[in-house]
């Protein structure tokens, strides 16, 4: 009686030890996956939600994936997600769903000003997410902290990590923004939609080029929008610290960070640390010198771009 009972106890003890061992292996694997978080990687973030599934499929696999940066899963076949109002230069600046006719030159500035103010304050104050000015919007900031008057859209960038937060938690959300009508002085409200492209985090590359914009902040009253692109470290093994969007804009993370706190259109904004180098790379040194551009002339006294000839440029924009 006695020896077999001891044996049974020993077996139970062994089973207990094995369970402990299995548990500790599982826990440390999960910890490694979690510590793989990186601001420019959305794969590490995606993986956090899947470890249980993977472990069920291959319990104590002999080949637990040592690299937390899983290659992305092939997504659904690609189709163009965002639809603009039309193919002409003017119509590509409106979301087809909310387009109610082109906004005349004299009115579009006010729409874009509210658009970017609402975007910047919602991101920093409500969502606590980091975003910074890019492309033509960054150039406008460099000249006088305002949108270039011949620009019909706004460009901003986010990190890959922020992009996955947008996709997971904020896609389809509507945001109200109250402002004072400059002519009537009345308090008015505009509503904006945060729309995240389903291909934003599914594909690493440019694909067929139909989905280079990862997300949009759309004014549902006019269809005008902020284009949001995510900068991701696409080849961490061979090109660490090099990030890019899907449209081949490439940056070293030292060019971007730390971001500089500044103002744009009268609200708090962020710009890349090396904004001048970025602007010269993208638009050439002339973009910071030439004072006549797209039918506008720089007025150094007013610190503004003014339209040269109303009659001549009307319609061209
Ligand atoms: C965002 O929401 C739209 C509308 O429901 C959907 O079509 C799209 O796939 C969503 N994007 C992501 C990243 O889930």
Q: What percent of the chain has pLDDT over 70?
A: 72
Task: Give 243-286 pLDDT, tens digit per residue.
Answer: 999 988 999 999 999 999 999 999 999 999 999 999 999 999 99
Strand, helix or coil at 221?
A: coil
Quick one: pLDDT at residue 55? Answer: 38
Distance CA 190, CA 203 (A): 33
Average pLDDT over residues 121-137: 97
* pTM to 2 decimal places: 0.76
Residue 216: which of 167, 266, 265 has the closest Cα? 167
Quick one: pLDDT at residue 179? Answer: 85
Contact criterion met (CB below 8 Å) for 221 and 190: yes
C-alpha 133 – ligand 1 centre gap (Å): 24
What does the domain layout of the chain look like in residue ranges?
91-283, 285-317
C-alpha 168 – ligand 1 centre gap (Å): 10
Q: Is the CB of 76 under 6 A from ligand 1?
A: no
Specify the long-range contacts of residues 55-60, CB closer than 8 Å, at least 24 apart.
Answer: 55/26, 55/29, 60/22, 60/25
Output the DSSP codes for 269-311: EEE-TTHHHHHHHHH-GGGGT--EETTEEEETTTTEEEES-HH
Quick one: pLDDT at residue 201? Answer: 81
C-alpha 150 – ligand 1 centre gap (Å): 31
- Mutation choice for ligand 1 from 46, 171, 218, 230, CB with most ligand atoms inside 8 A: 171
C-alpha 198 – ligand 1 centre gap (Å): 5
Q: Is the CB of 72 under 6 A from ligand 1?
A: no
């Amino acid at each position: 009686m006695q020896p077999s009972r001891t044996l049974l106890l020993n077996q139970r003890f062994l089973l207990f030890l094995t369970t402990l061992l299995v548990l500790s292996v599982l826990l440390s694997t999960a910890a490694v996956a979690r510590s793989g978080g990186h601001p420019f990687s959305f794969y590490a973030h995606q993986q956090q939600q899947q470890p249980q599934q993977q472990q069920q499929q291959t319990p104590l696999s002999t080949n637990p994936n040592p690299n937390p940066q899983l290659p992305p899963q092939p997504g659904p076949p690609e189709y163009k997600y965002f639809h603009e109002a039309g193919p002409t230069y003017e119509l590509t600046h409106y979301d087809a769903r909310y387009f109610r006719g082109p906004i005349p030159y004299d009115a579009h500035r006010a729409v874009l000003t509210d658009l970017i103010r609402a975007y910047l304050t919602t991101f920093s104050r409500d969502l606590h997410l980091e975003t910074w000015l890019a492309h033509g919007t960054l150039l406008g900031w460099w000249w006088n902290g305002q949108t270039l008057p011949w620009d019909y859209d706004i460009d901003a960038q986010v990190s890959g990590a922020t992009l996955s937060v947008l996709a997971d938690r904020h896609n389809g959300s509507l945001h109200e923004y109250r402002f004072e009508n400059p002519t009537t002085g009345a308090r008015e409200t505009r509503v904006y939609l945060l729309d995240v492209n389903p291909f934003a985090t599914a594909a690493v590359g440019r694909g067929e080029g139909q989905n280079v914009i990862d997300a949009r902040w759309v004014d549902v009253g006019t269809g005008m929008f902020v284009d949001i692109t995510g900068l991701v470290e696409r080849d961490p093994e061979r090109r660490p610290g090099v990030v890019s969007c899907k449209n081949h804009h490439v940056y070293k993370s030292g060019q971007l960070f730390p971001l500089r706190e500044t103002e744009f259109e009268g609200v708090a904004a962020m710009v890349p640390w090396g904004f001048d180098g970025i602007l010269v790379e993208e638009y050439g040194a002339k973009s910071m010198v030439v004072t006549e551009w797209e039918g506008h002339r720089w007025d150094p006294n007013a610190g503004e771009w003014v339209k040269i000839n109303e009659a001549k440029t009307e319609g061209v924009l």
